[in-house]
Chain A
Amino acid sequence: MSSTPTVVGSRHEPRGTAGTRPAVPPGRRRRRTLNPSQWAAVGFAAPLLVYLAVFYAYPLWRNIDLSLHDYTIRAFVQGDAEFVGFENYLEIFGSSTFPTALLNTGLFTIGSIVFQFSIGLALAVFFRSSFRLSSFLRALFLVPWLLPLIVSASTWAWMLNSDNGIVNSVIQAFGGEQINWLTSPDTALLSVTIANIWLGIPFNLVILYSGLQNIPGEVYEASSLDGAGPWRQFWSITFPLLRPVSAITILLGLIYTLKVVDVIWVMTTGGPGDASTTLAIWSYREAFGTGMPSFSPAAAVGNLLIVIALVFGFLHLQLQRRQEAS
């Protein structure tokens, strides 16, 4: 329970902080020749390096390869696909699905993050002050996170069912009208976003709660003595001190949300029409969702997704650098 780093690792840069440790003589660290301990280091890292090359780099390379050729299912088996350059990319940019999918991805991601984070933070602050049953209840909050996505998604699909869903039943009991949550183009994206917010709250709660644990209690005691109320304490202590952890949480949330497939696929399969189609869903549908797989455009969409994710990746790195500098 000491104030040690979180999984997020934002506060712990092994190489950055090691230099300040008095226990290690400064000369040792600067050595640049490949000494015996470097060989050992390479040896221990070797399985990972091989793994990354074979099971990350190679599939990704095959994916680029797919996107530059015209692979049909037959060409896939025979391996004689025609090289078409960037034609697949031009095709997806010109597709009528593209603007819809891009907009949906933005709405789905931003909507999910804003609510996941604010609800998660509110709950983390709520659970910070311990009360009877607080740790037990906090543990229960993890349940949605640990359930298989397909389980949660199908439960939500049944809850939002137009005719027999509990949600519509409650709405109608209060005099509202039946809403076709999953089958109307107006609400399909909203429905999957709601389900995804629900799924993301536990993750935000856990990370932010552990971030709160790292804020020393004395800071709060001091501010209490100065007469600061809970509201004031939140805005002048909790929020600023939690900023590094918050930034990491939001970025990780963005990255996780960009690639969501299961939830949307099980609830709406991206429909009706393209109403809830995100880039990830579009890619999945083209490659695996229909009887006629078209791998090449799907791979092109996938690579586009990677580029978007990489932008956030560099943002993440930039953020960490700035934190180290300060």
Chain B
Amino acid sequence: MTTQRSWWKTALGIFFTLLMLFPVYWMVNVSFTETRDLRSSPPHWFPWNPTFDGYEAVFAQQLPALGTSLLIGLGCVVLTVVIAAPAGYALALLHLRGGRTLNFLLLVAQMIPAVVMAMGFYAVYNSLGLLNSVGGLIIADSTIAVPFGVLLFTAFMAGIPRELLQAARVDGAGPWRTFVSIVLPVSRNSILTVSLFAFLWAWSDFIFASTLNRNGNLIPITLSIYNYIGNNTTQWNAIMATAVVASVPATVLLVVAQRYVAAGVTAGAVKD
């Protein structure tokens, strides 16, 4: 009876998953559809005669944009971890005075709409001449991830057993030594989680890209897709092919790093 019920649940689970992922399937399907079949009614449910025209267009035109996005994503990861990990240490383990206030400020910072930040950054970058630069975009994108990173590091590091830290102190390690040789290695999963999200958020960002980097020479893939839609409303197969390619990092990270996401989300590194 147990096997029967479990079988039934698996079937239901597969059904839900297929329903949920239908738009993703549709994106892939359209990306392989011939241009003349795009407007056929009813639409082709399956690409029986797959065309690679869309993908050829992607590789002919979108490689620089993909490279730019990769650069911005990696820059954002480094900046976020470098700022957030020490701050999490100060908040969780060094009992920073005013820590509660800082925690609250970070919560508030997460609530500030990106469109407002974009306007503020636009005004600031306009004076500093940072508009349309990759560096400026990295900084702007990191504002999404830094408060999240600090809060996540704080929550995780507060759970590091005190015995571990006391042992380090007994051995004569100062705060810096403790941070580098104990706290950081123990927090590996959190670092991976924060990096993962920092990368994905920077990779997916559209608001900052479309405001701070509108006329740049190096535009990220999201903006490139958007411009593409504006220019070619007929070639949805090429648009969807670009979308598929832009989704690759997310998919790869999900497959490779899902373990770390799960581990980071439940923040359970040390067993009792």
| A45 vs chain B, min Cβ distance (A) | 4
- Tell me the bound Cα distance from A203 to B102 in angstroms: 25
Q: Are A44 and B116 in contact (CB under 8 A)?
A: no
Residue of B nearest to A16 (CB): B100
What are 23 A-B pairs with beta-carbon distances under 8 A?
A1-B266, A1-B271, A2-B268, A2-B271, A4-B269, A5-B155, A9-B154, A37-B175, A41-B90, A55-B140, A56-B143, A63-B116, A132-B7, A137-B14, A147-B247, A155-B23, A166-B26, A173-B42, A288-B210, A305-B116, A309-B111, A309-B113, A313-B108
List of B residues within 8 angstroms of A132 by Cβ: 6-7, 10
| B6 vs chain A, min Cβ distance (A) | 4
Taking a contact as CB atoms closer than 8 A, the residue among A5, A9, A41, A151 that contacts B94 in the complex is: A41
For residues 102 through 121 of chain B, which have their beta carbon under 8 Å from a beta carbon of chain A? 102, 104-105, 107-121
- Tell me the bound Cα distance from A37 to B10 in angstroms: 54
List of B residues within 8 angstroms of A313 by Cβ: 107-108, 111
Q: Are A159 and B26 in contact (CB under 8 A)?
A: yes
Kindly state whether residue B218 has any CB partner on chain A within 8 Å. no
Q: Report the interface size for chain B: residues with CB under 8 A from the other chain.
A: 112
Q: Are B111 and A302 in contact (CB under 8 A)?
A: no
Kindly state whether residue B70 has any CB partner on chain A within 8 Å. no
List of A residues within 8 angstroms of B102 by Cβ: 45, 48
Kindly state whether residue B215 has any CB partner on chain A within 8 Å. no
List of A residues within 8 angstroms of B43 by Cβ: 164, 166, 169
Looking at chain B's contact residues, the main secondary structure is: helix
List of B residues within 8 angstroms of A142 by Cβ: 254, 258, 261
Kindly state whether residue A59 has any CB partner on chain B within 8 Å. yes
Kindly state whether residue A12 has any CB partner on chain B within 8 Å. yes
Q: Chain B CB within 10 Å — which of A76, A155, A302 has the most?
A: A155
Taking a contact as CB atoms closer than 8 A, the residue among B39, B207, B229 that contacts A262 in the complex is: B207
Q: Are B175 and A12 in contact (CB under 8 A)?
A: no
Besides A127-B13, A166-B26, 19 other A-B contacts (C-beta < 8 A): A7-B265, A17-B158, A47-B82, A48-B150, A51-B146, A55-B139, A60-B112, A77-B126, A132-B7, A137-B16, A139-B258, A142-B261, A155-B26, A164-B38, A164-B43, A169-B43, A312-B111, A313-B111, A317-B104
Given A14-B91, A139-B254, A287-B211, are A59 and B30 also a contact pair (CB < 8 Å)? no
Looking at chain A's contact residues, the main secondary structure is: helix
Q: Are A306 and B113 in contact (CB under 8 A)?
A: yes
Q: Are A45 and B91 in contact (CB under 8 A)?
A: yes
Kindly state whether residue B166 has any CB partner on chain A within 8 Å. yes
Q: Are A14 and B92 in contact (CB under 8 A)?
A: yes
Which of A85-93, A217-225, A253-261 lies at the interface? A253-261
List of A residues within 8 angstroms of B151 by Cβ: 7, 9
- Tell me the bound Cα distance from A262 to B223 in angstroms: 11
Q: Are B225 and A63 in contact (CB under 8 A)?
A: no
